[in-house]
Amino acid sequence: MHASVNHLRQTWRRRAEPWYVAYGLLGATLGGLVPILVPLTVGRAGDVLDVGLVMAAFYLGELAAPLWGGLVDRYGGQRGLAPGGVLVTAIALAAFPYTTTPAGWIGLAVLGGLGGATATTLAPLFVVRVYPPEEWDERLSWLHASYDGGGVAGLLLAGGLSQTHARGGLLTAAGLTATAAVLAWLTTRAPLGPSTPKAERLRPARHGDLALASLRGHGHQPTLDSLRQMLPDLRSPFHRFLMVWLLALIGSSALFALYPILMREVFAIPPALSSLTYAVAGGLRLLVYPQAGHWSMRFGQVRVLRAALGVRLVAFGGLLALALMPLDGQRWLALPIFAVVVLAWPLLSVSSTALTAHLSPVGEGEGMGLYKAVSALAGVIGAVLAGALAKGWGYRTSLGLPIAGVALALLLSIQIRPVQAESTASSD
């Protein structure tokens, strides 16, 4: 164990950078305080459908991610855009406690998601544009671990503030986010130049997948002609991967959008305890990130992605089965089952981010923006469906969405046969 800890410390010193601290502070707010305090704040003044709509609005703001990625690909300037986006999120969070109408909540949530998406979309570019591909998995794993480490601290803080100080908690989130914006500006490197477009493949891959045609030129101009040009790309490995990611996150977002309320209403678990469980699981998954990067390099990103989807499918099934059981005394088992869901995330995030960089037929920024937009779209769909199902047919029905989404994603992932990502595994 001592040798393992020393290895982690050495890897951290070698692969992490000072600006990861700013990313960790953003994780404390968006990954810790917001998922607990916003649903509880809205739920006290509105109903469960309002909660779903507001949480969906955070994701709605993230749909602009391809715009930021495309702009950076063409003109550079992510060093200014990333901190600016974080500052926008800080302003939205500061105003949220003083708003009492659904329209106001939704507007601020869109603004907060817009700013957060700018930072989280551009952050991986400081890795994939600076370092060689063989270092991406390990460096990205530490980047995600920094965000998650902040999320753990935010969840612990949210657990203490969830009962009586939700307004103060959101103001604290605003302050932490503003601090992250300043740190990001001070610690990131000079602006990197625009990305060189990737060359189109002239021949189909040897395993039978279609060639990856370039999306540049019609990525932000949705004319009829450009849509016709995109149709041949829909069977490419990148588009198949994006569909898998969309289905996987629709189900997961349905659970996480209502998490503190769902645990309270279905399993009789108070928000303070559900927040603590989330924090403990988040702390444990920090240890999984380095291993996720190693497995991703050794076995290939697609295999790791499938394994993580399988683990989540079993866990989601366990939650639904437990919710349908008449034995109230067993409801506490929802906490360790939910912890399994959380622990599977490093495998999903590291493998999916690396797959995006490997498979994108356009610049890394635009590819990462498309990946982020699909994540946001899944969040919108999952949160709205969860709120609507919970209001119309009860909270238990919303637990069926994660099972359906992840099961479909797992089936569709069988069709992904990326050459570049799998070659790493074959060389091990």
Residue 45 has pLDDT above 80, yes or no: no
User: What mean pLDDT do residues 16-37 have?
Assistant: 85
Q: 232 in helix, strand or coil?
A: helix
Q: How many domains in the chain?
A: 1
Q: Most confidently modeled of 40-44, 106-110, 144-148? A: 106-110
At residue 224, the pLDDT reads: 37
Which of 140-149, 269-278, 304-313 is most confident?
Answer: 304-313
Q: What is the pLDDT of residues 295-337, one digit of tens each?
A: 877 888 888 899 999 999 999 999 998 888 876 667 788 899 9
**By residue range, what is the domain housing residue 325?**
12-189+232-426
Give me 322's structure tokens: 């437990």
pLDDT of residue 187: 78
Rounded Cα distance between 125 and 19, Å, is 13
In the predicted model, is pLDDT for residue 398 greater than 70? yes
Q: What pLDDT is stored for residue 309 in this prediction?
A: 94
pLDDT at 190: 52
- Domain annotation covers residue 216: no
Confidence of residue 16 (pLDDT cuts 50, 70, 90): low
Asked, for residue 212, whether it belongs to a domain, the answer is no
pLDDT of residue 124 exceeding 50, the answer is yes
pLDDT number for residue 196: 45
In contact, 175 and 28? CB cutoff 8 Å: no
Can you give the pLDDT at residue 164?
59
pLDDT given for residue 167 in this prediction: 72
Percent of the chain with pLDDT over 90: 14
Rounded Cα–Cα distance for residues 30 and 116 (Å):
8
Structural domain includes residue 317:
yes
CA–CA separation, 304 and 324 (whole Å):
31
**Structure confidence at residue 38 (pLDDT):** 87
Q: What is the rounded average pLDDT of the residues 412-419? A: 71
Residue 374 lies in a domain: yes
Of 41-50, 205-214, 223-232, 373-382, least confident by mean pLDDT is: 205-214
Question: What pLDDT band is residue 179 in, cutting at 50, 70 and 90?
Answer: very high
164, part of any domain: yes
pLDDT at 12 over 50: no
Who's near 159: CB < 8 A, 6+ residues apart? 36, 271, 272, 273, 275, 276, 279
Mean pLDDT value of segment 408-417: 85
* Residue 360: CATH number of its domain: 1.20.1250.20
- Cβ–Cβ < 8 Å for 76, 191: yes
Q: How far apart are CA 211 and CA 202, in angstroms?
A: 7
Looking at residue 308, its pLDDT comes to 92
Is 221 among the domain residues?
no
DSSP 291-355: HHHHHHHHH-HHHHHHHHHHHHHHHHHHHHHHHH-S-GGGGGGHHHHHHHHHHTHHHHHHHHHHH
Mean pLDDT of 346-372: 76
Out of 193-197, 308-312, 349-353, 413-417, least confident range:
193-197
Tokens at residue 70, please?
């495309």
Mean pLDDT (the chain, rounded): 75
Residue 307 lies in a domain: yes
pLDDT higher than threshold 70 for residue 176: yes
Per the domain annotation, does 3 fall within a domain? no
pLDDT digits (tens, 9 = 90+) for 208-248: 222 222 222 222 333 334 334 434 455 677 888 888 999 99
For the chain, give me the number of helices (H) and strands (E)? 21, 0
Q: CA-CA distances (angstroms) from residue 313 to 192, 406, 411?
A: 40, 6, 12
Q: Residue 407: is its pLDDT beyond 90?
A: yes
Structure tokens at 174: 């605003």
Helix segments in 162-269, DSSP class H? 166-187, 224-230, 237-257, 259-267
Q: What is the pLDDT of residues 56-86, one digit of tens each?
A: 888 777 777 667 666 666 666 566 677 888 8
Q: Which residue has the higher pLDDT, 4 or 145?
A: 145
**Is the per-residue pLDDT at 356 higher than 50?**
yes
